[in-house]
Amino acid sequence: MAENQKVIIDTNVLVAACIIENIKELGIVVNHRLYSQSRHLFSVFIKRQQEKIGILTPTVHSEAFLVLSKAVKDVFIPSDFQDIKIKQIFYDNAVALVNSSEHRMRYLVGFLLKKYPNYNDVRKFHGLVKDMSMYLKDRWNVKYRGRISRIIESERRSENIITGTKWKDDQKDEVFYTHEGQVHIEARQLEKFMRNWPNRNDEMILAETLAIKNDYKKISEEYQFHIASGDTGFFSPLIYKNTLSNIVTREIKERFEIVCDLPNVIQWIVDPVPINEE
């Protein structure tokens, strides 16, 4: 069992977990990959409560209800209602779903440690996070934006491998297409990253995490920090057709020594012992 592990929960994991918990409780069968992932991660927090592994940052705590409300509203409220009475049924149903999920959220938050880092520290780290974001934005513009840029990047990567003279054309093509697939998924992830540009709340969560980590490091250098998230545009790798892009999370790891990944990966790191339940 790994000691001194700390896990920051991203807003989307907290919100998704409480919605799924809630829906499951209603007897609705849900087969969602995040259900067992998030449940197992929270099971670790519950099982090892004394260690206070799970941490809630001020931004996540503050925005969770907003994110929950917006996620429910955007899906449950159609744009055209002819009948006010039917509209009211939809509105009441959406409020009931938000509120019942929020009850579950309150329960889950009870197992997280609420940390309020020093504001000056957060501001200082926020500058470093902004630098990283600008670097990724530049990479997007130079290497991935537009088909031509991506082909050039795929060719550049292929050249490093195709050095011998005995390579046949179909072998060269295979190398190129492999790299093209990788470049494509990286471009897709950076596109997601850029779609929310500037990622103010994600950047703030990362800055808060760094400030909290800084506080823990004053106690011991051995603390390891992780962020559990399903946000493939920032805190989680993107996997598509067996190809993985970790272009953003790798940057976070290299710059700040924080591992960001899906809840099940983080759970495996902090508590590799399988949890038998259900």
Residue 76 CB, nearest approach to another protein (Å): 6
Nearer to another protein, 12 or 158 (CB): 12
Structure tokens at 34: 């995040």
Residue 257 CB, nearest approach to another protein (Å): 20
Distance CA 67, CA 80 (A): 23
Q: Which helix (H) or strand (E) holds 121?
A: helix 119-139
Q: Among residues 44, 43, 37, which one has the least CA distance to residue 12?
A: 37
Nearer to another protein, 79 or 163 (CB): 79
Residue 121 CB, nearest approach to another protein (Å): 24
Structure tokens at 105: 């959220």
Residue 89 CB, nearest approach to another protein (Å): 8
Nearer to another protein, 55 or 105 (CB): 105
Q: Among residues 253, 232, 127, which one has the least CA distance to residue 190?
A: 232
Residue 118 CB, nearest approach to another protein (Å): 23
DSSP E strand stretches across the chain: 5-9, 54-56, 113-114, 224-228, 238-240, 243-245, 258-261
Structure tokens at 123: 């501001």
Nearer to another protein, 63 or 121 (CB): 63
| Close Cβ partners of 160 (under 8 Å, ≥ 6 residues apart) | none
Residue 27 CB, nearest approach to another protein (Å): 8
* Sites of contact with another protein (CB under 8 A): 12, 15-16, 19, 23, 26-28, 30, 32-34, 36-37, 62, 65-67, 69-79, 84, 87-89, 91-100, 102-103, 106, 192, 230-233, 236-240, 244, 261-262, 264-265, 268
Nearer to another protein, 107 or 151 (CB): 107
- Residue 224 pairs in a beta bridge with 5
Q: What is the secondary structure of 91-109 as a DSSP string?
A: HHHHHHHHHHHHHHHHHHH
Nearer to another protein, 125 or 140 (CB): 140
Residue 242's region, left for phi above 0, alpha for psi from -120 to 50, else beta, is: left
Distance CA 213, CA 256 (A): 10
Residue 32 CB, nearest approach to another protein (Å): 6
DSSP E strand stretches across 211-257: 224-228, 238-240, 243-245
Nearer to another protein, 3 or 92 (CB): 92
